Amino acid sequence: MINKAIVVGNLGRDPEVRSTPSGQSVAKFSVATTRKWTSKDGERQEATEWHNIVCWGRQAEIAGQYLHKGKQVYVEGRLQTDSWEDRETGKKMYRTEIVCDNFQMLGSRGDSNTGGGSAAGGGSTSGGAGNFSGPAEDDDVPF
């Protein structure tokens, strides 16, 4: 069985970084992806989907330090859905998140918004350990 999600989009807000009672860092942020198409009538259409992202450990710290609203990012991870009961209505609520395994900052160096697909001056993280590779040396997209 495979549970894999890959998203390339723009951050909707700065990451919110907190610590668990045990001291582990956790960062939460949203990424927007926009799909564009032309309708049968020839009209340009656009739909934006928002994805909730969660990073843990060193990745969370790096996300909090280098990711900012509007920045383009590549995120891969697994889907996880949590459920709870609303305190006021008692209705069962659901939230699906992408638990980040790896992210790569995109856009041109020094660009705080979007860019042409080159690695940003922050490098990438990978695996559960969240290793930070330092500044990227080439301008190729890693996928």
Residue 30 confidence class, pLDDT cut points 50, 70, 90: very high
- Any residues with CB less than 8 A from the CB of 85 and at least 6 apart, and which? 91, 92, 93
Say which amino acid occupies 116. Answer: G
CB 68 within 8 A of CB 11: yes
Question: Which pLDDT tens digit goes with each residue over 57-100?
Answer: 999 999 999 999 999 999 999 999 999 999 999 999 999 999 99
Distance CA 36, CA 114 (A): 17
CATH of domain 5-132: 2.40.50.140
Q: Which H or E run contains 26?
A: strand 25-38
- Quick one: CA dihedral 8, 12, 15, 18, positive or negative? negative
Write a three-state SS string for 83-97. Answer: EEECCCCCCEEEEEE
Beta 131-132 vs 119-126: how paired, if at all? antiparallel
**In the chain, pLDDT over 70 holds for what percent of residues?**
75
- Determine the pLDDT at residue 111: 56
Phi, psi values for residue 47, rounded to 5°: -140, 130
For the full predicted model, state whether its pTM sits above 0.75. Answer: no
